[in-house]
Structure 1
Amino acid sequence: MNLLLMRPIFMIVCLMSLVLGAMACSGGDSDGAAPAAPVVPTKQPVAGKMGNITSPATPAQAKVEPAKVAAVAASGPKAERVILALQKPPAFSNDLAAFGSTSAFQLKPMYEYMIDTDPNTRNLIPGLAKSWQVEPSGSALRFFLNKDVPFNGGQGGTMTADDVLWAWEDQTREDSIMSFRNLFRRAKLEVINDYELTLTWDVPDADALDGIANQVGGMEVSSRADAKALGKKGLLDRPIAGTGPYEFVSRTQELNIVYRKADTPHWRVTPDFQEIEIRWISENSTRMAALLAGEVHITNIGFDQEQHAIKAGFEVVSGKVNTMRTYMQMKGVYFKDAKDFTQGFKYPENPLSEHKVRKALNKAIDRDAINTAYFYDMATVMKMTHVAETHGAWNPRWGEQFDDQYGYDPAAARTLLKEAGYDYNNPLETNLFIYEVAQYTGGPDVALTIGAYWADIGVKVKYVEWDSAKRRAVGRKLEMNNMIGLGVLIAPPILALRLNHHTSPPRGGSVENLAVEPIFQKARQSLDLKQQNEYLSAAADIIYDEHLSIPLFWVPVHVMVNPEVVDDWIFPGTVSGTYTHMWNIIGVR
């Protein structure tokens, strides 16, 4: 489908000042299809529980569960079962090694991790491990496990270090596709006693803590005894027993999955609802219809649809931590040889390798207007693409200098282009991808509006529509030259930097930079969080000053709820799979 030709007619008529500016600058004529700027709709009020959104701070120990959950535990909700409607994950399985991080959330209600995630802050906190420490060598982590933690259903007794060893063996097996399988294949897990173990790497990797924790998905702890009793054939009927607040009931493949509260009181949390059902519905309109009909109680729909749901009496509940990045990725500034930087860039003629060009593209964008138009002012303007403002690696000057370095100023943007050698007779040319993103609706509108802003400063924009398969294939070969696309990423800073500006695989996210390489490598090889943050801040300084990225927004992860059934849901919204901590869904009394 040609998205440019399918756009609604009314999208042609607004952002008039921008369009008129583009018309006045003939250098902004676009090559190929040249759609008009999308409409900027009138701002509408957003009701619901949108407060208390923070960004992730330096990981530290914190209270495991919010006081609000404990306060309502004594009295049950009106409904026994809460029903969620979510998009289908890429894969379905009862086997934890059979899918990656974006599919792991389907089994999260029944499993726990050695390290948990605080739902209010995204800080790393004790889970099945009551504490952990970095060993003096700097390349090992030592974990001290809680005692007397039972597996659900009486299947497997109580958890010990041998069950953690089993989880590690199972999820690093040869046919595993768990996201962090290679990281843990490089590790040596040694059981010291029933409640103590170590993980050691020849070369430490900063991804380790997030890989172990209830963050990316992987290292869910299951029962070795139950796995042995169940066998491979038994996995077709149910997953291996875990220690989570809910236990598995049934699954109808690609339709739904049902959990019930564990028969015995959980060792650390008390879920509100007796049962949770997750229905897999991919279409926004179908999920919206199910919500309006009362068939489901929680779902995610498009920003535009939310306004209709709010008018119908439904409410917004947002994740507590705001780290879904929306930004523009500049492609093609890649080193020819990642092992020999003296060979220079693969595409030395790429204009995106010029600092003044990158700064001009940033200063041409009116982020506030886009936020109002497409995110209903629910997003937060991003000051630094990869590090949120309350993270331990944050540098306050990034916020203080943002208006000067990145703020909307088309006149300054035109001057920068002129200084870079581009003018009416020699316009800057670039290619802009137009595609939908899975995380929210309106991705093409955002991209087209940004293209119109660039046209306004004299950029000749060619709009490109490739399907995702072609983008992935060309991207893997590092053959995208002078191309820009909308990026959406939920990841800790250490991973975000690696995916965008470092030459370790997978490459091609955004602009690579020689100065960032050695600093980031030091951050990546540290298991000490304070030291990691110092290196991350130094690398991000360069990214900020050199305008290696085009930051847009932190977009809140949120859902629509039926306020007659659901009072609140305390979840971070930043863990892979997004919809986690389902035991923190609080029902209406």
Structure 2
Amino acid sequence: MARVQCGRCGAAHSAGMWLPSSVGRDDMRGSSLVRHSLVIAIGIWLGVVGLALGASPKRGGTLTVVHGVDISHFDVQSAPGYEVIWINMNIHNSLLTLDKDLNPAPELAKKWEASPDGLIYTFYLEEGVKFHDGTDFDAEAVQWNFEHLIDPKARSAVRGFYADVERVEPVDRYTVRFVLKEPNYLFPLVVAGYRYGFVISSPTAFKTMSEQEYRMKPVGTGPFKFQEWVPNDHITLVRNEQYWKQGLPYLDRVVFKVLNDPMTQVTAIRAGEVDMLNSLSPDLVRVLERDRNVTVLSGLHTTPMVATLQVTRPPFNDLRVRKAIGCYGTDRYEIAEKAQLGLAKPLVSMTGVDVKGYVDLTSLCPYDPEKARALLKEAGYDERNPLRYTILTNNEKQVFANVAALLKEQYKKLGVETKIEIQDKVTWMTYMVGKNRCQWDQTVEDLASILTVHHNSYISEAGAAFNLSCHEDKKVNELYRQIKLAPTEAERQQRSEELLRYMLDNMYWVSVSTSPHFKALRKHVKDFVYQGELRFALEKVWLDK
């Protein structure tokens, strides 16, 4: 029997459907975590922040959202960083989207169905949808976006998610079929919420613009249209008056303002000069949670704080050194308590504790400085020949520098000498996924908010454009493949555990704690649906002022 999701009748789609797991599954020192876990639970299950009971949404106004760093460009396939994802989510639509409980839901496809053998997914498209350039959205546009995505020249971060798609073929103008080479029981979730989902851009815009112009002037079907970008200052979006969802959006425009200094951000939101801070460090949470005019939001622990090692060159091409530093030489409880101010959980596993498929591997990496020193000595490093290297991070959040500084002190106890380099986010990205890729030793950041263990493949598979540790181990790819081939939840859990243990055994990924995602908004911002870093939708947001 085919599995179906219908946007009009509300029928549930069986494959890949899941609900968030319960909050607070691990004990953790610090009562503040309990308090914020309650906020998490309320935010997820009510779904809407700033709900104005009985009030009708008001049209008009400008929402000003603060980002701590600028973007590099707008190309939905290759632009790195959550800041550009959040902006692009409001310029574009995906074929499917995530509902408030993070399950696949209709978007540009009003319903879909899967063949009994799991090899064909058929999507039935909304009719009458226009791109911002006035051209039509239809099945051929979906086919073109797929062919563009899998073209190596597009440098798509999500190309690997669609490697098992043999072809995409229009059935008629508003029906399109994805034919798979082998079953993928997570495919609806991939299309709905892996990174952007299957985001749709205008084929005509791509064909008529130069590459540079296309990267600077995004053209989608979304609720807001791109108006201007003043680098390192602001990006402005304006209402799409021909938006295909009747009556939406409510806002006239959205301004994404770049404010690098954390205290400037705090001052601006307290004074009412801006409406929302889109990402907060824990230190700012402590300041703003006392302000009656500001709501601080947090979410499930789906993002890890990492101290990833580049494994293809010295010193971390030696597994003994990787285990000394990334496993036994890292005090994760101290990082969660001090650098994260008790708002996070210690983490050894590759994924956050609320990711589908998570396995607690904490016992496999206890803090053991003596064992770490022994491994370093075995690898040739001691007081006469100390290990020396650089910890690289960026200026997006103060917590990154705080974690790096704490790691530096922990490693010093092992006789390891490190220096910390803090770059602006755009420059740092060139070392992760750009022209300087793999030319670093260790990096601290929070990467990445994911729905399932399998979701993390785009930044950890061998050969993936965003493979951060730069490993070339093809067994990792096969372990990811086995997860999506598993037809039951129990089998996917078992195969996820096998992958997580393999990644840890080889230290291809180093998590140090979870990294809860915080946002802050003024009380007059209404009907904002909080979904952490996974989704940032403004089409139903309005201002009560």
TM-score under structure 1 length normalisation: 0.67
Aligned with residue 304 of structure 1, among 272, 283, 288: 283
Contact 1:318 1:556 in 2 (8 A): no
- Equivalent residue, structure 2, for 1:574: 533
Counterpart CA distance in 2 for 1:210 and 1:363 is: 36
Aligned with residue 142 of structure 2, among 164, 169, 176: 164
Residue identity matched to 2:446: V
Aligned with residue 220 of structure 1, among 180, 190, 199: 199
Counterpart CA distance in 2 for 1:206 and 1:429 is: 49
- Equivalent residue, structure 2, for 1:372: 337
Q: How many percent of aligned residue pairs carry the same amino acid?
A: 11
Change (3 A) 1:67 1:145: farther
What is the deviation of 1:371? 2.5
Instruction: Output aligned runs, 1:271-350, within 5 Å.
Output: 273-285=250-262, 286-299=264-277, 300-332=279-311, 334=312
What is the deviation of 1:298? 0.6
Change (3 A) 1:133 1:251: same
The reply on whether 1:406 has 2:368 as its aligned counterpart is no
Counterpart CA distance in 2 for 1:548 and 1:174 is: 25
The reply on whether 1:353 has 2:319 as its aligned counterpart is yes
**Secondary structure of residue in 1 paired with 2:394:** coil
**Secondary structure of residue in 2 paired with 1:199:** strand
What is the deviation of 1:358? 1.8
Deviations 1:401-434 (A, max 9, x none): x3x43344xxx44156448866999459434533
Contact 1:178 1:218 in 2 (8 A): no
Change (3 A) 1:324 1:405: same
Change (3 A) 1:210 1:101: farther
Deviations 1:112-168 (A, max 9, x none): 21121234x433333333444555666x441322544644889557x5423423444
Contact 1:69 1:586 in 2 (8 A): no
The reply on whether 1:118 has 2:124 as its aligned counterpart is no
**Secondary structure of residue in 2 paired with 1:449:** helix
Counterpart CA distance in 2 for 1:251 and 1:513 is: 40
- Equivalent residue, structure 1, for 2:520: 560
Change (3 A) 1:511 1:533: farther
Deviations 1:27-64 (A, max 9, x none): xxxxxxxxxxxxxxxx997999874537xxxxxxx99x
What is the deviation of 1:296? 1.0
What is the deviation of 1:182? 7.8
Residue identity matched to 1:523: Q
Higher Cα Rg, which structure: 1
Instruction: Output aligned runs, 1:72-221, within 5 Å.
Output: 72=53, 75-76=56-57, 80-87=61-68, 89-92=70-73, 99=79, 102=82, 103-119=84-100, 121-132=101-112, 135=115, 140-148=119-127, 150-151=129-130, 155=134, 160-168=138-146, 176=154, 178-180=156-158, 187-200=166-179, 212-217=191-196, 219-221=198-200
Residue identity matched to 1:381: P
Residue identity matched to 1:581: A
Counterpart CA distance in 2 for 1:237 and 1:542 is: 40
Please, which moves more after superposition, 358-367 or 66-75?
66-75
Change (3 A) 1:298 1:574: closer
Deviations 1:213-255 (A, max 9, x none): 344237433567xx4899649989975461x4x2427335443
Contact 1:439 1:488 in 2 (8 A): no
The reply on whether 1:523 has 2:479 as its aligned counterpart is no
Greater RCO, 1 or 2 (C-alpha within 8 Å, sep 6+)? 1
Instruction: Output aligned runs, 1:244-259, within 5 Å.
Output: 244=222, 246-248=223-225, 250-254=227-231, 255-259=234-238
Aligned with residue 327 of structure 2, among 362, 371, 390: 362
- Equivalent residue, structure 1, for 2:444: 486
**Secondary structure of residue in 2 paired with 1:116:** strand
The reply on whether 1:389 has 2:353 as its aligned counterpart is yes
**Secondary structure of residue in 2 paired with 1:583:** coil
Change (3 A) 1:239 1:432: closer
Counterpart CA distance in 2 for 1:473 and 1:241 is: 25
Contact 2:67 2:258 in 1 (8 A): yes
Deviations 1:464-520 (A, max 9, x none): 64865795599978676xx433243115333535634x5334587449597954742
What is the deviation of 1:191? 0.9
Change (3 A) 1:147 1:127: closer
